[in-house]
Amino acid sequence: MGLMFKQLHSLFVGDAGPIELRRVHDEDTLAAIRAGMDEYAVLVFHDQPFTDDEHLAFAQRLDGALHTKLGSAAIQKNRFGNEALGDISNLGSDGEILKSDDRRRAYTLGNRLWHTDASFQDPPGRYSMLHAKVIPPVGADTEYADMRAAYDALPAETKALIQGLRVHHSIAYSRQTLGFDFSKDEEEALKGAVYPLVRTIPRSGRRALYVASHASRIIDWPVPEGRLLLRDLIEHATQRQFVYRHTWRVGDLVIWDNRCTMHRATPFEDTKHPRELRRVTTLDMGGPEMAPHTPQPSERPGKAGSLL
């Protein structure tokens, strides 16, 4: 099929084409897309006329089992009746634009924080595949940060400090930072998960920072010190040289690797214009790098302030 990748950013992101993914069933092409993911971490495919079912089926062909616990289930029943089909829109169950004081809108605004999908779940998300149906006239781009390049650029001292650390991720925490509170029952269903701060991505062998706005604390560290280090790492990783900004066209499918990128939505007039995308995310079943690890005393802090 002659699949080619054109790099869109100096560090990552490939524009892939020409290809119509709903027709891709052969193992060679699927393997070429996976290899593209290993290299670029984010792939952009324009002009994909997916139905929801074709989108779901393609995601499974490419990467296996789908995530069905995407967080929002605690807030509102999925309007498509399928928890694997994430409703990335500013529309309510009646299809109307959400009002500014709507609870689901407040919840969705959390996507404007830098994050990686389902890092607060076990298992977390591996590939997310976001398909654009309706795009507003201005704004509403999505930004991506390359967490492999961000890791590579850390001073050796910081790499040594963070190696082996583990982080608790919680959506209750990240939403609270925006003033959104879950009920006790909702919180009960969203206890969070613990993952290594540095991950080695299978196949490419590259290391990546695994942090997100959901990252609430570093295990075995005092909470404030842990939060300060997490904040510094996120600031470091989202400097402009590590960030690509995607301007959506209807029909775009963007696939990103949640193990080694962060992303965030950018503002638009969301109480005026509809914006509608669908997201399917696969399960990250992990590997040896996800195994629990006890930090050695030599890896304990220190002050992190001057290490980035």
Give residues in contact with ligand OGA (CB under 6 A). Answer: 88, 111, 117, 128, 130, 142, 263, 265, 277, 279
Instruction: Quote the least distance from Cβ 73 to ligand OGA, whole Å.
Output: 14
Q: Let me know the angle formed at the C-alpha of 50 by 22 and 277, rounded to the nearest 5 degrees.
A: 140
Instruction: Quote the least distance from Cβ 162 to ligand OGA, whole Å.
Output: 25
Instruction: Quote the least distance from Cβ 206 to ligand OGA, whole Å.
Output: 22
Q: Under 8 Å CB-to-CB from 302, ≥6 apart: which residues?
A: 161
DSSP states along 86-97? EEEESB-TTSSB
- Residue 284 found at the interface with Mn ion (CB under 5 A): no
Decide the pairing of beta strands 42-45 and 14-17: parallel
Q: Which residue stretch of 31-39, 112-120, 190-198, 241-249 sits at the interface with Mn ion (rule: CB under 5 A)? A: 112-120
Instruction: Quote the least distance from Cβ 194 to ligand OGA, whole Å.
Output: 21
Q: Which residue stretch of 91-99, 117-125, 163-171, 214-222 sits at the interface with Mn ion (rule: CB under 5 A)? A: 117-125
C-beta closer to ligand OGA: residue 62 or 88: 88
| Rg, C-alpha atoms of the chain | 19
Helix spans in the chain (H): 27-40, 52-63, 103-108, 147-152, 156-162, 171-176, 184-189, 223-237
Q: Which listed option, Mn ion, ligand OGA, none, makes contact with residue 265 (CB within 5 to 8 Å by class)?
A: ligand OGA
Q: Which listed option, Mn ion, ligand OGA, none, makes contact with residue 257 (CB within 5 to 8 Å by class)?
A: none
- Distances in whole angstroms, Cα of residue 289 to Cα of each of 101, 120, 148, 209, 292: 42, 17, 15, 12, 8
Which residue carries 């190696």 as its tokens?
Answer: 163
Task: Order the strands of the 125-134 sheet from edge to edge.
Answer: 4-7, 14-17, 42-45, 253-257, 125-134, 276-283, 86-89
Distance CA 66, CA 53 (A): 13
C-beta closer to ligand OGA: residue 14 or 86: 86
C-beta closer to Mn ion: residue 19 or 41: 41
C-beta closer to Mn ion: residue 199 or 214: 214
C-beta closer to Mn ion: residue 120 or 221: 120
C-beta closer to Mn ion: residue 129 or 198: 129
Residue from the set 87, 117, 252, 257 that interacts with Mn ion by CB under 5 A: 117
> Under the rule (CB under 5 A), what is the footprint of Mn ion?
117
